[in-house]
Amino acid sequence: MRLIAENLGGERGGETVFSGIGFALEKGEALVVTGPNGAGKSTLLRVIAGLLPVAAGKIRVEGSGEDFSSIASASHYLGHLNAMKTALSVEENLAFWRAFQGEPALSVEEALETVGLGGLGHLPFGYLSTGQRRRASIAKLLTSRRPVWLLDEPTAGLDKASEERFAGLMRGHLEGGGIVVAATHLPLGLRGAKGLALGVAG
Ligand SMILES: Nc1ncnc2c1ncn2[C@@H]1O[C@H](COP(=O)(O)OP(=O)(O)OP(=O)(O)O)[C@@H](O)[C@H]1O
């Protein structure tokens, strides 16, 4: 499959944040989006995910088969906020997402073990530390098979060991034919990734 952007533009509050973005990612390829605060990295990821409208140009997936007819259905979106209910347990949150997203992959227990949170699944999500919350959200990526991972500052709040573990998970996803688009201020350990530098907002 391929993820293709042509002359893509995005807006916030009626103002153009970026324009003329083009890239083509084959399976197994990653794009690392960099730029100063306010440059439009989060906006770009949200436009790709379909959470914000495309202001200009096009973004599309090709060759993803019948399972994934749209980018939204083909994508995991990991935003700044973790999209978990604080009063529900970690396991309950992940079980919800696994059922909601379909295409089951790892079990909730296996996903929690993989991110080093085995044994903590019974805790309310709200009890977790910042880094543990991020790891639980990363576990969400593992519970459903979706070929495109859209990651907004995925390693923010992670300690060194968790950062390295997550780099391994991203590499595994790419080796399995997945695609990654990640906005980041920190090196992600993805050798050979393509780069996209967004400019300073006005
Ligand atoms: N809801 C909104 N309404 C209007 N403008 C917005 C809105 N959200 C963001 N913006 C503006 O859009 C621009 C791009 O913001 P965005 O969050 O995409 O930047 P970013 O590159 O991800 O920044 P950071 O590195 O701080 O996360 C900024 O100028 C921001 O003020």
Average pLDDT of the residues in 138-145: 96
Residue tagged 């604080």 (tokens): 86
pLDDT at 201 over 70: no
pLDDT in tens, 71-97: 888 999 999 888 999 999 999 999 999
| Helix 130-143 × helix 160-175 angle, to 10° | 10
Q: Which CATH code, of 3.40.50.300, 3.40.50.800, 3.40.190.10, 3.40.50.1360, is assigned to 2-197?
A: 3.40.50.300
Spell out where the chain has E strands: 2-12, 15-26, 30-34, 56-62, 75-78, 148-152, 179-183, 194-197
Which residues sit with their C-beta closer than 6 Å to ligand 1? 12-13, 17, 35, 37-43, 201
The label of the residue with tokens 């709040």 reads 157
The ranges assigned to domains in the chain are: 2-197
Mean pLDDT, rounded, for 2-6: 96
pLDDT at site 70: 84
Q: Return all residues near 175 (Cβ < 8 A) that are at least 6 apart.
A: 28
Kindly report, residue by residue over 49-74, the tens digit of the pLDDT: 999 999 999 999 988 776 777 888 89
The whole-number pLDDT of residue 200 equals 58
Please check the confidence at residue 202 and state whether its pLDDT lies above 60: no
Strand, helix or coil at 114?
A: helix
Asked if residues 36 and 188 have their Cβ atoms less than 8 Å apart, the reply is no
Nearest C-alpha neighbor of 84 from the set 149, 128, 46: 128
Query: CA-to-CA distance for 182 and 166, rounded, in angstroms?
Result: 12
What's 104's DSSP letter? B
d(CA 175, CA 157) in angstroms, rounded, equals 26
The pLDDT of residue 118: 94
C-alpha span between 108 and 88 (Å, rounded): 14
What atom in ligand 1 is closest to the CA of residue 40? Answer: 18
Q: Which residue's C-alpha comes closest to atom 3 of ligand 1?
A: 13
Torsion sign across C-alpha atoms 90, 96, 101, 106: positive
- Return the best residue to mutate from 18, 32, 41 for the ligand 1 pocket (most ligand atoms within 8 A of CB): 41
- The amino acid occupying position 181 is V
Confidence of residue 22 (pLDDT cuts 50, 70, 90): very high
Determine which residue's CA is closest to atom 31 belonging to ligand 1: 38
Looking at this predicted complex, what is its ipTM? 0.94
